[in-house]
Structure 1
């Protein structure tokens, strides 16, 4: 046994954990009103794995023997379950296809190296055999970065880094830690927290994603306002390439030509396999608080968030939901029959008397960390800004609930899939000056796409990850496709998804802020970074990997592959 735990082969997270709406009395009526999906309808359970038709592995004895010699027989796996687990990520198209048994190309073998020397041996063996290597971390990718090309005739090797999961050392004076790339978020933080340190990086996928995966996709986290995106956090690394290792020391800054570190960040395995990284670490904060606020409108909320971003406050979390996402969040509350429920209703009654249109209200969460004096001062700064834009403070209770449930949203998507609903996300970033237009145009494009395919759909959004010049907009959309068959469902899904993504690039926003490119977003790369910019990227990838052995098909448009 490899000792590496994986997510469900058919969905998000671990077996035995699932979303349940029964204790949320407002949710079923809300979802039925918005998209016509009956949450109380009997669901269709995921298929039985034994009913899948898994293609037989295509691997010769010579390569099998070389891989076995490299990592040990028990760490070379070719059983069907292992191979299917490593075929897809957890994007909506991935889950629709795997549940339908759509397995046109499955990795032929999964290998589990224990250290960098074993990674080097595997990489060299794969390239020598003219096979394909796909690095695998936690399997949480949602942009199509893990799936072998359907027409790939060469042997496909999935390289699972799950055994490489240790914090190797901490440079306490520099505030740096050297960590193996296969460590998942909770394990990494447990090891660091026991020494009094934290990286502070918390993407939605935190519980099931790895340091190497974050680096490969240029991840951002919920606390990136303070701790930075993974591109800021990662200061040095080691990356295995055929016959050699790229070594980047953990320096605070350099002026040594185009940044190789930046080239590797977001490369999705196409330049090599990251085995370890030096990352910023911080002492565990004395205090940590998430406070909820409520704004009367989206426009007021955006203005407040921009002002907070340039204020003397330095929050860890800056997030605000639009009216639709706020209404959805309120619908997912558990029933409160006591004082808590009465207090909330009383507050809403007061706001209504003041002239608030509660259907336009926008819920916000701001996070604070540090010493008591620092936290108090920042709360005061933010409080004045919130009031200046017509908002009010709701307090710690809703903020604490958000903090507890922040990693659970993907389970809702699986639940909807079980009862015939499709839900997915698209995220972007743009300057503050363009955010209102990007928001309005994207929601309009989604509604028009719903009309074209003849369904009731719902789109909601939140702003997060504030920067000096702009912020991230994170959209979630859902609808019932109204057709049977995975192919037909995905055709309708792509009508909506493409409308959203095209709007991003048409208005000068990025095609992705932190989910990466993969295959799902590659179509828009030239519109995002220009044809000339794509020329540079193609030249880089081709120069490193002329034989297209390293995760081919990701990042660049299909017509630009060589």
Structure 2
């Protein structure tokens, strides 16, 4: 990868890095927790589960967005939670919520802490006591309704722990976001998460059929119904609410028998346009793959740069294949890598592969095989770690994702790439932007952009100013080209400034009325979701 990074952003990966500071070097503001609230919280969950330790409080201050990582590396901690509380069950959550609201304090639910849109960070000017409610102890699969294909699961369970409990009984939820190893069921619901296999299993909004959510003095209970016509959907209101409507404690979710066969196949297209057209045709066909993904030329070059060098016959075969493609007139700099996933019975997999194969061929693509596909499976959760490494050696890297109709996807892609490059030029830096299509739907798909550039400045404040020039250009390009501000990362504080452009002022009025009606005192994770000027 080192030569590739040097080429595209001019940074030497072999240069000595600057690791994050030691925790002891940070100056952490003292807790504001008073004796009365501390006593009520201790009565609710046990004194040993009411923690004011500085390290715990800092861990619960930020998510994993680029701005979060930059700030914590320089000890920028204007406001941290005053206490972290670890409930064991819903009754304890109810007691904590009631105690916090009675004390006119602030409650921020915390799952795995992997959010990258600013949904976890306390408002810097918040003077009230801030309580971080960590649901990590609520991590069990409670029951499975085998006849209905439903499982009741506590909201604090991490992805791997949940799947381990389900697969031990022959089931899977099939939801695998990039943050799978570090995120929770409740966090997925609260941000309307999507997984790599959503083409088969659906987004978390499709998977979640019922839930329980604690509000001050009461509990919202939604039974796991396949469908209902009982007015505007309260379930939909809670999905994506980011803790502003209450604390999700458990959910009924769709589960499926572990498939007999699972296979990821790699393909190569001569161009981005050909790859996108093929994904659209696959979505409209009788095929039912679990994954449909294609990278643009830049992301394809990045992916190839991270592979280990092939040796022996494997390396010779690759060289021979590329030589054949060049003779056919392919410009390999424009080639686009694709991954298609197949799950189910042998008959289903065979039939789906045959349908997909014909579509791939019709768009000029070729099959690379299961070898590269296996590599995708091995590395699918690894890319986020590269960002931390790049930060060590002085590069800024982050992501923005969106969704749009098929008719607008090409304009969204070209407009966003152009906007990012113009932002790099404005900053006078050598930057890089890449994209892949994932999560195909009947009417459109998700586009996931990654961008990186060298900051070229020293202070964290200047770094973040420059970062926001690029990030803002990308987000604005989304709405200007008919796309949404976020497909699955949520709104938080990072994307909220574009909310009125996304859902209209009138739509934002509806959201404000909902949040204000439930939480007039702004005790539940204030500052997220809404633009700052719409907070009451």
1:84-95 to 2 correspondences below 5 Å: 84-95=58-69
Q: 1:467 aligns with which of 441, 464, 468?
A: 441
Cα deviation for residue 308 of structure 1 reads 0.3
Q: 1:458 aligns with which of 426, 432, 444?
A: 432
Residue 185 of structure 1 pairs with residue 159 of structure 2: yes
1:17-416 to 2 correspondences below 5 Å: 27-416=1-390
SS of equivalent residue, structure 2 residue 240: coil
* Residues 513-546 of structure 1 deviation map (CA, whole Å, 9 limit, x = unaligned): 0000000000000000000000000000000000
Cα deviation for residue 345 of structure 1 reads 1.1
Cα deviation for residue 343 of structure 1 reads 1.0
Residue 557 of structure 1 pairs with residue 521 of structure 2: no
Match of 2:419 in 1: 445
* Residues 333-383 of structure 1 deviation map (CA, whole Å, 9 limit, x = unaligned): 111221111111111111011110000000000000000011000000000
* Residues 239-288 of structure 1 deviation map (CA, whole Å, 9 limit, x = unaligned): 00000000000000000000000000000000000000000000000000
Q: 1:435 aligns with which of 406, 409, 413?
A: 409
* Residues 170-215 of structure 1 deviation map (CA, whole Å, 9 limit, x = unaligned): 0000000000000000000000000000000000000000000000
Match of 1:24 in 2: none
Residue 492 of structure 1 pairs with residue 473 of structure 2: no
Q: What CA distance in whole angstroms lies between the structure 1 residues aligned with 2:356 and 2:212?
A: 41
* Residues 127-167 of structure 1 deviation map (CA, whole Å, 9 limit, x = unaligned): 00000000000000000000000000000000000000000
Q: CA RMSD in A?
A: 0.4
Q: What CA distance in whole angstroms lies between the structure 2 residues aligned with 1:397 and 1:313?
A: 22
* Residues 220-242 of structure 1 deviation map (CA, whole Å, 9 limit, x = unaligned): 00000000000000000000000
Q: What CA distance in whole angstroms lies between the structure 1 residues aligned with 2:205 and 2:364?
A: 35
Aligned residue-pair number: 536
What TM-score do the two structures reach when normalised by structure 2?
1.00
Q: What CA distance in whole angstroms lies between the structure 1 residues aligned with 2:448 and 2:515?
A: 29
Cα deviation for residue 508 of structure 1 reads 1.4
Q: What CA distance in whole angstroms lies between the structure 2 residues aligned with 1:45 and 1:448?
A: 31
Q: 1:520 aligns with which of 494, 512, 516?
A: 494
Q: Which runs of 5+ in 1 are unaligned?
A: 1-26
Q: What CA distance in whole angstroms lies between the structure 2 residues aligned with 1:512 and 1:199?
A: 23
Q: What CA distance in whole angstroms lies between the structure 1 residues aligned with 2:320 and 2:251?
A: 51
Q: What CA distance in whole angstroms lies between the structure 2 residues aligned with 1:248 and 1:300?
A: 44
Q: What CA distance in whole angstroms lies between the structure 2 residues aligned with 1:301 and 1:68?
A: 57
Q: What CA distance in whole angstroms lies between the structure 1 residues aligned with 2:478 and 2:183?
A: 26
Runs in 1 of length 4+ with deviation above 3 angstroms? Answer: none
Q: What CA distance in whole angstroms lies between the structure 2 residues aligned with 1:57 and 1:273?
A: 23
Q: Which runs of 5+ in 2 are unaligned?
A: none
Q: What CA distance in whole angstroms lies between the structure 1 residues aligned with 2:88 and 2:104?
A: 23
Cα deviation for residue 506 of structure 1 reads 1.1
Q: What CA distance in whole angstroms lies between the structure 2 residues aligned with 1:410 and 1:363?
A: 19
Q: What CA distance in whole angstroms lies between the structure 1 residues aligned with 2:185 and 2:481?
A: 32
Q: What CA distance in whole angstroms lies between the structure 2 residues aligned with 1:477 and 1:273?
A: 34
* Residues 70-117 of structure 1 deviation map (CA, whole Å, 9 limit, x = unaligned): 001111100100000000000000000000100000000000000000
Match of 1:13 in 2: none
